[in-house]
Amino acid sequence: MPSKLFLLCGALASIMFFQGTASAQKYVEFLGSAKTSEIKYSPKYKIPYRDNGFNAPKKRKWKQAAKRQAPEWVIEEIKVFPGQPDSIGVWIDEAFDAARDSFTKCGGRLATFAAGVDPQSVTGVKIEPTIWYEPALNKILSGGYYPETHSIRVVNVYYGSTGQYRHARLLLAWEMKNHFAFLAGLQSEPTFPGWPCGAK
Protein backbone atom coordinates (compact mmCIF):
# COMPACT_ATOMS: atom_id res chain seq x y z
CA MET A 1 0.00 0.00 0.00
CA PRO A 2 2.71 2.61 0.83
CA SER A 3 4.29 2.25 -2.62
CA LYS A 4 0.94 2.65 -4.33
CA LEU A 5 0.27 5.80 -2.33
CA PHE A 6 3.67 7.11 -3.30
CA LEU A 7 2.90 6.51 -6.96
CA LEU A 8 -0.21 8.58 -6.50
CA CYS A 9 1.79 11.41 -4.96
CA GLY A 10 4.42 11.14 -7.63
CA ALA A 11 1.82 11.46 -10.34
CA LEU A 12 -0.04 14.47 -9.01
CA ALA A 13 1.97 17.01 -10.93
CA SER A 14 1.40 15.09 -14.11
CA ILE A 15 -2.30 14.39 -13.73
CA MET A 16 -3.57 17.54 -12.12
CA PHE A 17 -4.45 18.91 -15.54
CA PHE A 18 -5.57 15.55 -16.87
CA GLN A 19 -8.44 14.91 -14.48
CA GLY A 20 -10.93 12.18 -15.29
CA THR A 21 -10.92 8.84 -17.00
CA ALA A 22 -9.07 7.75 -20.10
CA SER A 23 -11.95 8.81 -22.33
CA ALA A 24 -11.56 12.44 -21.26
CA GLN A 25 -8.52 13.01 -23.46
CA LYS A 26 -7.82 12.26 -27.11
CA TYR A 27 -4.29 10.89 -27.14
CA VAL A 28 -1.94 12.38 -29.74
CA GLU A 29 1.53 11.06 -30.53
CA PHE A 30 3.14 14.35 -31.46
CA LEU A 31 6.40 12.63 -32.45
CA GLY A 32 4.87 9.48 -33.87
CA SER A 33 4.96 6.00 -32.39
CA ALA A 34 7.84 4.26 -30.63
CA LYS A 35 10.40 2.86 -33.08
CA THR A 36 12.90 0.92 -30.99
CA SER A 37 13.28 -0.68 -27.57
CA GLU A 38 17.06 -0.32 -27.47
CA ILE A 39 18.48 0.26 -24.00
CA LYS A 40 20.87 3.19 -23.81
CA TYR A 41 22.81 4.70 -20.92
CA SER A 42 23.08 8.30 -19.82
CA PRO A 43 26.54 9.72 -20.52
CA LYS A 44 27.53 10.74 -16.97
CA TYR A 45 25.85 8.28 -14.62
CA LYS A 46 25.10 5.39 -16.98
CA ILE A 47 21.44 5.30 -15.96
CA PRO A 48 19.63 2.91 -18.33
CA TYR A 49 16.88 4.36 -20.48
CA ARG A 50 14.77 3.69 -23.54
CA ASP A 51 14.19 6.74 -25.70
CA ASN A 52 12.05 4.63 -28.06
CA GLY A 53 13.62 6.37 -31.05
CA PHE A 54 12.57 9.85 -29.95
CA ASN A 55 16.20 10.96 -29.99
CA ALA A 56 15.58 11.38 -33.72
CA PRO A 57 11.82 11.46 -34.38
CA LYS A 58 10.63 10.55 -37.87
CA LYS A 59 7.36 12.45 -37.48
CA ARG A 60 6.58 15.81 -35.94
CA LYS A 61 2.86 16.47 -35.72
CA TRP A 62 3.15 20.13 -34.84
CA LYS A 63 0.04 20.88 -36.90
CA GLN A 64 -1.96 18.90 -34.35
CA ALA A 65 -0.69 21.27 -31.67
CA ALA A 66 -1.50 24.25 -33.87
CA LYS A 67 -5.07 22.99 -34.16
CA ARG A 68 -5.18 23.05 -30.37
CA GLN A 69 -4.01 26.67 -30.55
CA ALA A 70 -0.63 25.96 -29.02
CA PRO A 71 1.67 28.99 -28.79
CA GLU A 72 4.54 29.24 -31.26
CA TRP A 73 7.17 28.26 -28.70
CA VAL A 74 5.37 24.97 -28.04
CA ILE A 75 5.14 24.26 -31.78
CA GLU A 76 8.86 24.99 -32.04
CA GLU A 77 9.59 22.51 -29.22
CA ILE A 78 7.76 19.82 -31.18
CA LYS A 79 9.67 20.72 -34.33
CA VAL A 80 13.11 20.46 -32.72
CA PHE A 81 12.66 17.81 -29.97
CA PRO A 82 14.95 16.76 -28.39
CA GLY A 83 17.46 19.25 -29.84
CA GLN A 84 20.43 16.90 -30.11
CA PRO A 85 20.48 13.09 -30.46
CA ASP A 86 22.06 12.68 -27.02
CA SER A 87 19.87 15.25 -25.25
CA ILE A 88 17.60 12.74 -23.49
CA GLY A 89 20.52 11.02 -21.78
CA VAL A 90 21.90 14.39 -20.73
CA TRP A 91 18.49 15.40 -19.31
CA ILE A 92 18.45 12.25 -17.19
CA ASP A 93 21.87 13.06 -15.74
CA GLU A 94 20.86 16.67 -15.16
CA ALA A 95 17.69 15.53 -13.41
CA PHE A 96 19.74 13.34 -11.08
CA ASP A 97 22.10 16.23 -10.28
CA ALA A 98 19.20 18.61 -9.67
CA ALA A 99 17.49 16.15 -7.34
CA ARG A 100 20.67 15.53 -5.39
CA ASP A 101 21.34 19.28 -5.13
CA SER A 102 17.83 19.94 -3.82
CA PHE A 103 18.45 17.50 -0.96
CA THR A 104 22.06 18.56 -0.37
CA LYS A 105 21.10 22.18 0.22
CA CYS A 106 19.01 21.08 3.23
CA GLY A 107 22.14 20.10 5.12
CA GLY A 108 22.20 17.58 7.94
CA ARG A 109 20.63 14.17 7.42
CA LEU A 110 19.26 14.91 3.97
CA ALA A 111 22.60 16.16 2.70
CA THR A 112 24.30 13.02 3.99
CA PHE A 113 21.58 10.91 2.42
CA ALA A 114 21.88 12.68 -0.95
CA ALA A 115 25.63 12.14 -1.06
CA GLY A 116 25.08 8.41 -0.75
CA VAL A 117 22.41 7.95 -3.44
CA ASP A 118 23.75 5.73 -6.21
CA PRO A 119 22.64 6.74 -9.73
CA GLN A 120 22.18 3.03 -10.40
CA SER A 121 19.31 3.07 -7.91
CA VAL A 122 17.28 4.34 -10.86
CA THR A 123 16.63 1.08 -12.64
CA GLY A 124 15.27 2.58 -15.84
CA VAL A 125 13.75 5.55 -17.62
CA LYS A 126 11.29 5.23 -20.47
CA ILE A 127 10.20 7.96 -22.89
CA GLU A 128 6.61 7.44 -23.95
CA PRO A 129 5.03 8.49 -27.28
CA THR A 130 1.99 10.01 -25.58
CA ILE A 131 0.14 10.30 -22.30
CA TRP A 132 -1.18 7.02 -20.92
CA TYR A 133 -3.88 5.56 -18.72
CA GLU A 134 -2.67 4.20 -15.38
CA PRO A 135 -5.14 1.57 -14.09
CA ALA A 136 -3.78 1.68 -10.52
CA LEU A 137 -4.83 5.33 -10.30
CA ASN A 138 -7.65 5.42 -12.82
CA LYS A 139 -5.93 8.50 -14.22
CA ILE A 140 -4.21 9.70 -17.35
CA LEU A 141 -0.53 10.43 -16.76
CA SER A 142 2.18 12.38 -18.53
CA GLY A 143 4.84 11.26 -16.07
CA GLY A 144 5.19 8.88 -13.17
CA TYR A 145 7.64 7.42 -10.68
CA TYR A 146 7.12 3.72 -9.93
CA PRO A 147 8.58 2.96 -6.48
CA GLU A 148 8.30 -0.83 -6.68
CA THR A 149 10.75 -0.86 -9.59
CA HIS A 150 12.51 2.49 -8.96
CA SER A 151 11.72 3.45 -12.53
CA ILE A 152 10.44 6.55 -14.32
CA ARG A 153 8.15 7.04 -17.29
CA VAL A 154 7.55 10.38 -19.00
CA VAL A 155 5.93 11.52 -22.23
CA ASN A 156 8.27 13.03 -24.82
CA VAL A 157 6.36 16.25 -25.50
CA TYR A 158 2.66 16.92 -25.24
CA TYR A 159 0.13 19.68 -25.66
CA GLY A 160 -3.32 18.90 -24.31
CA SER A 161 -6.65 19.81 -25.81
CA THR A 162 -7.22 22.39 -23.09
CA GLY A 163 -3.74 23.90 -23.19
CA GLN A 164 -1.59 21.70 -20.91
CA TYR A 165 2.07 21.56 -21.95
CA ARG A 166 4.41 18.74 -20.91
CA HIS A 167 8.04 18.13 -21.86
CA ALA A 168 10.29 15.18 -20.98
CA ARG A 169 13.09 17.44 -19.73
CA LEU A 170 10.83 19.03 -17.11
CA LEU A 171 9.06 15.80 -16.18
CA LEU A 172 12.35 13.96 -15.66
CA ALA A 173 13.48 16.61 -13.18
CA TRP A 174 10.20 16.27 -11.28
CA GLU A 175 10.11 12.47 -11.15
CA MET A 176 13.78 12.16 -10.22
CA LYS A 177 13.06 14.23 -7.10
CA ASN A 178 10.29 11.76 -6.30
CA HIS A 179 12.84 8.95 -6.57
CA PHE A 180 15.06 10.66 -4.02
CA ALA A 181 12.09 11.35 -1.76
CA PHE A 182 11.01 7.72 -1.83
CA LEU A 183 14.49 6.50 -0.94
CA ALA A 184 14.64 9.05 1.88
CA GLY A 185 11.25 7.99 3.22
CA LEU A 186 9.75 11.44 2.64
CA GLN A 187 6.44 12.63 1.24
CA SER A 188 6.87 13.12 -2.49
CA GLU A 189 6.39 16.27 -4.56
CA PRO A 190 7.54 19.83 -3.94
CA THR A 191 4.41 20.62 -1.92
CA PHE A 192 5.74 23.74 -0.24
CA PRO A 193 8.50 26.35 -0.74
CA GLY A 194 11.90 24.93 0.11
CA TRP A 195 10.91 21.28 -0.34
CA PRO A 196 12.41 18.78 0.51
CA CYS A 197 13.91 20.67 3.45
CA GLY A 198 11.48 20.18 6.32
CA ALA A 199 9.53 17.41 4.57
CA LYS A 200 8.44 14.41 6.60
With respect to residue 199, please indicate whether it lies within any of the assigned structural domains.
no
Instruction: Tell me, yes or no, whether 190 lies in a domain.
Output: no
The secondary structure of residue 114, as a DSSP letter, is H
Instruction: Look at residue 198 and tell me if it is in a domain.
Output: no
Smallest CA-to-CA distance from 140 within 128, 126, 122, 150 is with 128
pLDDT digits (tens, 9 = 90+) for 58-80: 999 999 999 999 999 999 999 99
Distance CA 45, CA 61 (A): 32
**Residue 27 CB: number of other CB atoms within 10 A?**
13
The pLDDT value given to residue 25 = 52
Q: pLDDT tens across 123-137, in order?
A: 999 999 999 999 988
177-189 pLDDT, tens digit each: 999 999 999 977 7
Range of the domain at 24: 2-184
Q: Residue 163 gets which letter from DSSP?
A: S
Higher pLDDT, 148 or 191: 148
154 with 141: CB under 8 angstroms?
no
Q: How many domains in the chain?
A: 1
Residue 195 counted as domain residue: no
The predicted pLDDT at position 84 comes to: 95
CB count in 10 Å sphere of residue 82: 24
Q: Indicate whether 171 belongs to any domain.
A: yes
